[in-house]
Amino acid sequence: MREQKLLGRYILIAEDNNSVAVSLGEAFGAQGAKVLYPFATIEDVLDLIMSSQPIDAAVLSLTLQGEETFVAAENLVRRHIPFVFLKGHNAPEIPGHFEGVGRFDKSGNLADTAHHLTRIVLATSQGGARG
Protein backbone atom coordinates (compact mmCIF):
# COMPACT_ATOMS: atom_id res chain seq x y z
CA MET A 1 0.00 0.00 0.00
CA ARG A 2 1.24 3.48 -0.87
CA GLU A 3 2.02 6.02 1.79
CA GLN A 4 -1.00 8.23 2.44
CA LYS A 5 0.90 11.54 2.58
CA LEU A 6 -2.22 13.60 1.92
CA LEU A 7 -4.62 11.74 4.18
CA GLY A 8 -7.56 14.01 4.98
CA ARG A 9 -6.28 16.89 2.81
CA TYR A 10 -8.63 18.60 0.37
CA ILE A 11 -7.21 19.09 -3.13
CA LEU A 12 -9.13 21.20 -5.66
CA ILE A 13 -8.74 20.24 -9.30
CA ALA A 14 -9.92 22.98 -11.66
CA GLU A 15 -9.60 21.41 -15.10
CA ASP A 16 -12.01 21.19 -18.04
CA ASN A 17 -10.31 18.21 -19.70
CA ASN A 18 -12.00 15.24 -18.02
CA SER A 19 -9.19 12.74 -18.65
CA VAL A 20 -6.61 15.12 -17.14
CA ALA A 21 -8.88 15.81 -14.14
CA VAL A 22 -9.48 12.10 -13.56
CA SER A 23 -5.76 11.26 -13.83
CA LEU A 24 -4.90 13.96 -11.29
CA GLY A 25 -7.77 12.88 -9.06
CA GLU A 26 -6.46 9.32 -9.05
CA ALA A 27 -2.91 10.47 -8.27
CA PHE A 28 -4.04 12.57 -5.30
CA GLY A 29 -6.61 10.01 -4.17
CA ALA A 30 -3.90 7.33 -4.03
CA GLN A 31 -2.15 9.53 -1.47
CA GLY A 32 -5.26 9.73 0.69
CA ALA A 33 -6.47 13.16 -0.42
CA LYS A 34 -10.11 14.14 -0.59
CA VAL A 35 -10.26 15.34 -4.18
CA LEU A 36 -12.62 18.18 -5.05
CA TYR A 37 -13.51 17.86 -8.74
CA PRO A 38 -14.60 18.17 -11.47
CA PHE A 39 -14.67 21.95 -11.59
CA ALA A 40 -14.66 22.91 -15.25
CA THR A 41 -15.88 26.53 -15.18
CA ILE A 42 -14.40 29.61 -13.58
CA GLU A 43 -17.74 30.33 -11.91
CA ASP A 44 -17.81 26.94 -10.18
CA VAL A 45 -14.19 27.30 -9.07
CA LEU A 46 -14.78 30.77 -7.63
CA ASP A 47 -17.91 29.59 -5.82
CA LEU A 48 -15.92 26.81 -4.16
CA ILE A 49 -12.95 29.02 -3.27
CA MET A 50 -15.24 31.63 -1.73
CA SER A 51 -17.23 29.03 0.22
CA SER A 52 -16.38 27.64 3.64
CA GLN A 53 -15.14 24.38 2.03
CA PRO A 54 -11.65 23.54 3.30
CA ILE A 55 -9.06 23.54 0.51
CA ASP A 56 -5.48 22.55 1.30
CA ALA A 57 -4.10 22.96 -2.22
CA ALA A 58 -5.21 23.31 -5.82
CA VAL A 59 -4.34 22.45 -9.39
CA LEU A 60 -5.59 25.29 -11.59
CA SER A 61 -5.80 25.12 -15.36
CA LEU A 62 -4.80 28.44 -16.95
CA THR A 63 -8.11 28.43 -18.81
CA LEU A 64 -11.48 26.82 -18.16
CA GLN A 65 -13.93 26.70 -21.05
CA GLY A 66 -11.83 29.40 -22.77
CA GLU A 67 -11.78 31.78 -19.78
CA GLU A 68 -8.55 32.70 -17.99
CA THR A 69 -8.40 31.65 -14.35
CA PHE A 70 -6.16 34.33 -12.87
CA VAL A 71 -9.00 35.73 -10.74
CA ALA A 72 -9.28 32.29 -9.11
CA ALA A 73 -5.50 32.26 -8.61
CA GLU A 74 -5.71 35.66 -6.89
CA ASN A 75 -8.36 34.29 -4.52
CA LEU A 76 -6.22 31.24 -3.73
CA VAL A 77 -3.33 33.57 -2.89
CA ARG A 78 -5.60 35.65 -0.62
CA ARG A 79 -6.65 32.49 1.24
CA HIS A 80 -3.02 31.31 1.48
CA ILE A 81 -3.85 28.14 -0.46
CA PRO A 82 -0.87 26.72 -2.37
CA PHE A 83 -1.50 25.85 -6.00
CA VAL A 84 0.11 25.03 -9.33
CA PHE A 85 -0.91 25.97 -12.84
CA LEU A 86 -1.67 23.50 -15.63
CA LYS A 87 -1.04 24.77 -19.12
CA GLY A 88 -2.14 23.43 -22.46
CA HIS A 89 -1.78 24.55 -26.06
CA ASN A 90 -2.21 28.28 -26.66
CA ALA A 91 -2.01 28.99 -22.93
CA PRO A 92 -2.18 32.66 -21.97
CA GLU A 93 0.90 34.39 -20.61
CA ILE A 94 1.05 34.16 -16.84
CA PRO A 95 1.22 37.53 -15.05
CA GLY A 96 4.58 38.29 -13.44
CA HIS A 97 3.27 38.25 -9.87
CA PHE A 98 2.65 34.50 -10.27
CA GLU A 99 6.30 33.90 -11.21
CA GLY A 100 6.95 31.58 -8.27
CA VAL A 101 3.93 29.35 -8.92
CA GLY A 102 4.70 25.92 -10.39
CA ARG A 103 3.64 25.35 -13.99
CA PHE A 104 3.02 21.98 -15.54
CA ASP A 105 2.08 20.90 -19.04
CA LYS A 106 -1.21 19.01 -19.37
CA SER A 107 0.43 16.69 -21.88
CA GLY A 108 3.32 15.97 -19.51
CA ASN A 109 3.63 13.51 -16.65
CA LEU A 110 0.72 14.38 -14.35
CA ALA A 111 2.31 12.34 -11.57
CA ASP A 112 5.05 15.00 -11.49
CA THR A 113 2.38 17.65 -10.97
CA ALA A 114 0.87 15.69 -8.09
CA HIS A 115 4.30 15.04 -6.56
CA HIS A 116 5.26 18.73 -6.70
CA LEU A 117 2.02 19.89 -5.09
CA THR A 118 2.27 17.17 -2.44
CA ARG A 119 5.73 18.46 -1.47
CA ILE A 120 4.33 21.99 -1.17
CA VAL A 121 1.42 20.84 1.02
CA LEU A 122 3.73 18.87 3.31
CA ALA A 123 6.20 21.77 3.58
CA THR A 124 3.36 24.17 4.32
CA SER A 125 1.95 21.95 7.04
CA GLN A 126 5.38 21.85 8.69
CA GLY A 127 5.66 25.63 8.75
CA GLY A 128 7.49 25.96 5.43
CA ALA A 129 6.85 28.50 2.71
CA ARG A 130 3.80 28.35 0.46
CA GLY A 131 3.84 28.32 -3.31
**Can you give the residue range of the structural domain that contains 104?**
10-125
Q: Does residue 70 fall inside a structural domain? A: yes
What share of the chain has pLDDT > 70, as a percent?
95
Cα separation of 36 and 56, whole Å? 11
Q: Does residue 2 fall inside a structural domain? A: no
Q: Does residue 5 fall inside a structural domain? A: no
Question: Structure pTM?
Answer: 0.92
- CATH number of the domain that 23 lies in? 3.40.50.2300
Cα separation of 60 and 102, whole Å? 10
Q: Does residue 27 fall inside a structural domain? A: yes
For 47-84, give the DSSP string.
HHHHSS---SEEEEESEETTEE-HHHHHHHHHTT--EE
Question: Which tens digit of pLDDT belongs to each residue from 9-55?
Answer: 999 999 999 999 999 999 999 999 999 998 999 999 999 999 999 99
Cα separation of 99 and 114, whole Å? 19
Q: In the 8-state DSSP scheme, what is residue 97?
A: G
Q: Does residue 1 fall inside a structural domain? A: no
Q: Does residue 33 fall inside a structural domain? A: yes
Q: Does residue 83 fall inside a structural domain? A: yes
**How many domains are there within the chain?**
1
Q: Does residue 4 fall inside a structural domain? A: no
